[in-house]
Structure 1
Amino acid sequence: MSAALPAGFNPANIVLDTIRHPVIMVAPDGRVAFANAEAEDFFRSSAAVMARGGLERFVPFGSPLLTLIDQVRERQAPFNEYRVDISSPLLGGEKLVDLYVAPVAELPGHVVVLLQERSMADKIDRQMTHRGAARSVSGLASMLAHEIKNPLSGIRGAAQLLESVVSDEDRALARLITDETDRIVALVDRMEVFSDERPIDRRPVNIHVVLDHVKALARNGFASKVRIVEDYDPSLPPVHANRDQLVQVFLNLVKNAAEAVSGRQDGEIVLSTAFRPGMRLSVPGTQDRVSLPLEFCVHDNGPGVPEDLMPILFDPFVTTKQNGSGLGLALVAKIVGEHGGVIECDSSPRGTTFRVLMPAWKEPRPGGDGTRQGEAT
């Protein structure tokens, strides 16, 4: 039995406006006969404006979308096409979409188009790759700890002995051996973090307390000359996380941002938090979908990330810094992934935004063992 709707309400329109993907219906003459709310946002025009002109006004000339619509009309059969580029200045930059196009049997010549943006799907795919890369580093770190650190201790000890008996001229060379040995050991120690597979002690954490702590560290150190701006949602619920590891994540991201704007008079870092209830992630191997409603961003107005680095940005040993190890962002991706979250990067010549999506803390249902999940003792 269906629920009664108020007079004047069209249930089909209500359902289509609820779908979080752009849906349009194209008439035989090319006009957009219908557009749901998401399509209005996507095409940056109201449904009324879109209805007054053809779809070709909103997509590039010769777009595969127009060709696909013609094929569906001709063959009266649905078609799918993946990774279609419909980018145009009108749409606000790069738009890579999957297309689902089908004829409307009740309205001859009309075609329905559903567009699914690829950006989020691609970023999540890359996130899985980053986690695989981090696991590879874990194995490498374990091997290095045993096979390299022990011989290095012997080399360092021998160099120290030499330093005490050689001439002043050779003492600098012995000290160089000691210093370089210490540098290699420090690098191996940093890599050993990746091999730590212990369960994470997660509790309800106020993200704003974490960000304020990171901001204080930055202002008294590496970002003392950079303007840091807050854009917080004060009503945000706690995040289900380990506080110390969150500090590590945002300390790395803020440090990267500070380095990106170094030397600029107008250098600025924006820390923002928001609630995004529509973001859900499928768990591989199950039918579960985890909600990731908490969004934490670190934005800088630096020159952006080189385009060729974007697909591998979170991989280990990838860096543009002269003396960088390339492990900072790889560690960030590992920590966020182990918390069940996702990290993204959007970059352009006008700036870079790192976006962390994480699950919120949920009170456990009553009737358990009497201890709330993650409750501080």
Structure 2
Amino acid sequence: MTRAAPDPEPARRARADSPLAGLDLLATAVVVLDREGCATYLNPSAEQLFEVSRRIVVGQPFARLFLDGAPIEGLMAGALSGEFEEKRTDLELERPGREPMLLLVTATVLDAGPGMLLIEFREHDKRWRVDREERLLDSAQANRELVRNLAHEIKNPLGGIRGAAQLLESELGSPGLREYTQVIIKEADRLQLLVDRLLAPHRHPHIVGDVNIHEVCERIRSLVLAEFPHGLAVRRDYDTSLPEFRGDREQLIQVVLNLVRNAAQSMNGRGEIILRTRIARQVTIAKHRWKLALDLHVIDNGPGVPEEIRDRIFFPLVSGREGGSGLGLTIAQTFVQQHGGLIECDSRPGRTDFRILLPLP
């Protein structure tokens, strides 16, 4: 006899009726532990911060999530012994296979409810990230306006220079003198191509359709591996539960291609690139709060972005590679911002991480 699948509605209603349900809306990570140190509740921000599922963690010793759970066990022991009712401290916690996190922790002893100790975790650099995001958005907008106006100002006289050089060439009888007019024409064409690239993000219409980000990543992976067939590994780390979303597929392909190709070129085609997709919850982008966002990372183990240009890599014509135009990241940032998102970069020798956040309405 076939057993009916359990109805999820009672569980959902139980969560909604919980006295802790309001904590689901907080941007900070909150975990509640019982007297044995087992998790009884995690809010969505805690799931995102520690990259775990509430269903798996609840009922398990929370300290076991970390390589060294002693700091959590110490907080639990202090709460049990009556050492504090509320305590603020700094903790460094590390999940297996992930970067250590420096966290500002507030632990509060609960008098009653579904647990004994409520712990709130804040990333130390969260305020810095918000300020940096605002600066990036403001500077990107200013740069776009500057570049667009400058490109338009250059475009018209450039056409006149080329036309005059062609007329002059037709009047010259000496092949030696025509060589000079050819130099003028070729340089005018080169500058025209540069101006066209500067204006490209503002010219093409925003064509919106359903986008599967993993199809985009797979296409980029094939293209880059064909371009760098020897010594380059492009590893997938996908969250297959990610939904499709509305966006301009061609623009997003160009964004990811620019990032992955830059990474491959920085390593001379030899190294490892990771394409990682995740869901981010309760994300603030450009002062707007989103329940869900696509969190896409392009990570490489190359030499890193040169320190002297690290704060300016999204500016037009700034490049860390000899012969680079310095437009790839500018175009990528423009396209992502047209989707209401943001690109961030965290780079040091041996690990560069470009993170794309796109809101999922």
Q: Does the pair score TM above 0.5?
A: yes
Residues 206 and 238, structure 1, Cα contact 8 Å, conserved in 2: yes
Q: What is the rounded CA distance, in whole Å, between the counterparts of 1:328 and 1:117 in structure 2? A: 31
Percent identity at matched positions? Answer: 35
Q: Between 113-122 and 187-196, report the one with greater CA deviation.
A: 113-122
More strand by share: 2
* 1:342 paired residue number: 342
Structure 1 residue 238 displacement after superposition: 0.9
Task: Kindly provide the CA deviation profile for residues 205-259 of structure 1, in whole angstroms up to 9, marking residues without a partner as x.
Answer: 11222222223333444x3433333333333311331101111101101110110
Aligned residue for 1:190, secondary structure, equals: helix
Residue segments in structure 1 that go unaligned for 5+ positions in a row: 23-35, 56-72, 107-111, 363-377
Q: What is the rounded CA distance, in whole Å, between the counterparts of 2:42 and 2:287 in structure 1? A: 31
Q: What is the rounded CA distance, in whole Å, between the counterparts of 1:170 and 1:87 in structure 2? A: 71
* 2:154 paired residue number: 148
Structure 1 residue 197 displacement after superposition: 9.2
Which amino acid letter does the alignment assign opposite residue 173 of structure 1?
Answer: Y
Residues 44 and 281, structure 2, Cα contact 8 Å, conserved in 1: no
* 1:375 paired residue number: none
Residues 247 and 339, structure 2, Cα contact 8 Å, conserved in 1: yes
Residues 141 and 188, structure 1, Cα contact 8 Å, conserved in 2: no
Residues 160 and 178, structure 1, Cα contact 8 Å, conserved in 2: yes
Residues 275 and 297, structure 2, Cα contact 8 Å, conserved in 1: yes
Residues 211 and 248, structure 2, Cα contact 8 Å, conserved in 1: yes
Q: What is the rounded CA distance, in whole Å, between the counterparts of 1:4 and 1:215 in structure 2? A: 47
- 2:197 counterpart of 1:193: no
1:51 to 74, 86, 107: 74
- 2:243 counterpart of 1:237: yes
Aligned residue for 2:219, secondary structure, equals: helix
* 2:81 paired residue number: none
Residues 268 and 301, structure 1, Cα contact 8 Å, conserved in 2: yes
Structure 1 residue 134 displacement after superposition: 2.8
Residue segments in structure 2 that go unaligned for 5+ positions in a row: 1-13, 21-32, 48-60, 79-83, 112-117
Which amino acid letter does the alignment assign opposite residue 249 of structure 1?
Answer: V
Task: Kindly provide the CA deviation profile for residues 5-29 of structure 1, in whole angstroms up to 9, marking residues without a partner as x.
Answer: 9xxx84997577548469xxxxxxx
Q: Given the superposition, is the C-alpha separation of residues 95 and 176 from structure 1 closer, same or farther in structure 2, using an over 3 Å criterion?
A: farther
Aligned residue for 1:178, secondary structure, equals: helix
Residues 298 and 354, structure 1, Cα contact 8 Å, conserved in 2: yes
* 1:116 paired residue number: 122
* 1:69 paired residue number: none
Structure 1 residue 87 displacement after superposition: 7.8
- 2:274 counterpart of 1:270: yes
* 2:305 paired residue number: 305
Question: Structure 2-normalised TM-score?
Answer: 0.67
Task: Kindly provide the CA deviation profile for residues 20-74 of structure 1, in whole angstroms up to 9, marking residues without a partner as x.
Answer: 469xxxxxxxxxxxxx94x876x7422488539x99xxxxxxxxxxxxxxxxx9x
Structure 1 residue 340 displacement after superposition: 2.4
Q: Given the superposition, is the C-alpha separation of residues 279 and 167 from structure 1 closer, same or farther in structure 2, using an over 3 Å criterion?
A: farther
Count of aligned pairs: 308
* 2:315 paired residue number: 315
Question: Structure 1-normalised TM-score?
Answer: 0.65
* 2:133 paired residue number: 127
Aligned residue for 2:207, secondary structure, equals: coil
Aligned residue for 1:148, secondary structure, equals: helix
- 2:254 counterpart of 1:248: yes
Q: Given the superposition, is the C-alpha separation of residues 183 and 319 from structure 1 closer, same or farther in structure 2, using an over 3 Å criterion?
A: same
Aligned residue for 2:326, secondary structure, equals: coil
Q: Given the superposition, is the C-alpha separation of residues 208 and 44 from structure 1 closer, same or farther in structure 2, using an over 3 Å criterion?
A: same
* 1:169 paired residue number: 176
Residues 253 and 298, structure 1, Cα contact 8 Å, conserved in 2: yes
